[in-house]
Structure 1
Amino acid sequence: MSLVGEERKGIILDLINNAGKVRTNDLVDRLQVSSETIRRYLEELEEENRLKRVYGGAVKMTLEREELPHLKREVLRADEKKRIGRVAAGLVQDHDVIVIDDGSTSLQMIPYLIYKKNLTIITNSIPGLNLLIDYQNKEIFAGDIFFVGGRVDSRHYRISGSIAEQIMQNFYVNKAFISIDGMLPVQGITSYDADRAMLARKFMQNSKESIVLTDSSKIGNSTLYKIADLNEIDRIICEQPVPREWADLMNKHDLEWIAAD
């Protein structure tokens, strides 16, 4: 590569080290080159283990394999999560029985559900439960609430584990809304936490329809524990359109991708 190319790659690495993430469109404007050139730089840097490409850009390489605490996750990409939550809530019909998992994205559905009629909501999210109880006490939510009990994960404000799975075994729902930590074509949808992955899988197994809620930072990532294959999902809601290279895969699995723009 020319010296100019190496200098540009150095600028990309400086930006990603400072911000933790770069976007292809921003790099095009910053470096005044085409998006194809930027993608080539990112591919070369990924081959050198200097960064990790994700949908729309790249993120800093890290050995971190742990999920961020709930209080940190809920403020990350908050606007995108609200848009996803609003679109997800629009799929809920009066009289539906739904399960909402503990994800910070799924939590954003709840404010948009308050005027639905005769809903039954099942959740393992402690903040989600508190919000629903608050809405009931204010008489702006009149549905039924079921809390999936089990082992308390205080760092993530959720319930998981074998007891929670056994409790969920007794429920059957119309729609399961699932948040994820990573998604790739071969690996499917994944989670940082084994117990969370197992409970999410149980939610999906006991639902007529499985709907994944994810912001675009999770696309192209793979975390440690598998939740399900893509062919086990019915819909994906993301703030970005389906990646061009994923379109054929979506058609193959008859999987609907909804852009929450």
Structure 2
Amino acid sequence: MADASHVKTEEPFDIRLDEQREAKARIGVAAAGLVKNGDIIAIDVGTTSLQIAKALPKDFRGVVATPCLLVAGELAGRPGLDVLLSGGWVRGGDLACSNSQAVSFFRNLNTDVAFLSSGGVAAKEGLTDFYRDETATRQEMLRNTQRSYIVADSSKLGKVAPYHVCDLSDVTGVITESIPHESLVQELHRHGAQLILPDS
């Protein structure tokens, strides 16, 4: 089994926005394909989450809840779509909301599907991220949903960020653009979690 690589800090938002752009777009399309009209969806923060918002069909009817101003701005004003923003303390770059207000918002909302972004995804360490306050928000998103998917381009696979969000046993699946290392594939299989690869 390959050792996971520990990473301490995240690249700035403007750099990440251009990195793996095509892969993130493909992941966004695959994620959007998992929702149906009438769903209540939670979309996390980050550049891949923004691609999910862009990929949602223009005729999608339902509710999107997010802790990200960028996701909310992308979807606001679409007919038949209610956009709910958690509020809270806003971090620059990703424009991510966190603190007790964001946690409380997701604690009181039951969703059909949640898409969780990642600082890293590894077989043993599961889903990890760089911002401690935002992990609590993700954990509430995870607790109160019927289905949950980690969205992560291949640069995040095998990486471990400082703060633990959840184990792979806690999610429905992982959406990524290329086949991960065998250890991660085996761990997903062991827990009955899906590995979803976009169409080429």
CA–CA distance in 2 between the matches of 1:250 and 1:79? 25
Contact persistence 1:241–1:258 (CA under 8 A): no
Structure 1 or 2: larger helix share? 1
Larger Rg: 1
CA distance in 2, matches of 1:53, 1:252: 18
> Aligned pairs, how many?
198
1:209 to 131, 144, 147: 147
SS in 2 for 1:105: helix
State the alpha-carbon separation in 2 of the partners of residues 128 and 117 from structure 1.
15
Tell me how far 1:259 sits from its aligned partner. 1.1
Aligned to 1:91: 34
Aligned ranges 1:210-249 → 2 under 5 Å: 210-249=148-187
* Structure 2 counterpart of 1:65, one-letter code: K
Higher relative contact order (CA 8 A, sep 6+): 2
Q: Which of 137, 141, 144 is the matching residue for 1:199?
A: 137
**Does the CA contact (< 8 Å) of 2:154 and 2:180 recur in 1?**
no
Q: Which amino acid aligns with 2:33?
A: G
1:132 aligned residue (75, 95, 119): 75
After TM superposition, the structure 1 = structure 2 runs for residues 1-261 of structure 1, keeping only pairs within 5 Å, are 65-133=8-76, 136=77, 140-260=78-198, 261=200
Tell me by how many angstroms 1:89 deviates.
0.2
Preserved CA contact (<8 Å) 2:122 2:160? yes
| Alpha-carbon contact 1:212-1:236 (below 8 Å) kept | yes
Distance in 1 (CA, whole Å) between partners of 2:56 and 2:116 is: 16
What is the deviation of 1:53? 7.4
Q: Distance in 1 between matches of 2:174 and 2:160?
A: 16
Q: Indicate how the Cα distance of structure 1 residues 75 and 141 shifts in structure 2: closer, same or farther if over 3 A, else same.
A: farther
Identity percentage over the alignment? 27
Give secondary structure in 1 for the equivalent of 2:10. Answer: coil
How far apart, in 1, do the equivalents of 2:60 and 2:101 lie?
Answer: 30
Query: Normalised by the size of structure 2, how large is the TM-score?
Result: 0.91
Q: Deviations over 1:107-139 (max 9, x none)?
A: 101122143442100011111111112xx2xxx
Q: Deviations over 1:178-234 (max 9, x none)?
A: 110111111111001101111111111111111110011111111100000010010
Q: Which runs of 4+ in 1 moved over 4 A?
A: none
Structure 2 unpaired stretches of 5+: none
Equivalent residue of 2:94, what SS?
A: coil
Verify the 8 A CA contact 2:24 2:51 in the aligned structure 1.
Answer: yes
C-alpha distance in structure 1 between counterparts of 2:4 and 2:123, whole Å? 15
Deviation, 1:169, is: 1.3
Alpha-carbon distance in 2 for matches of 1:129, 1:104:
13
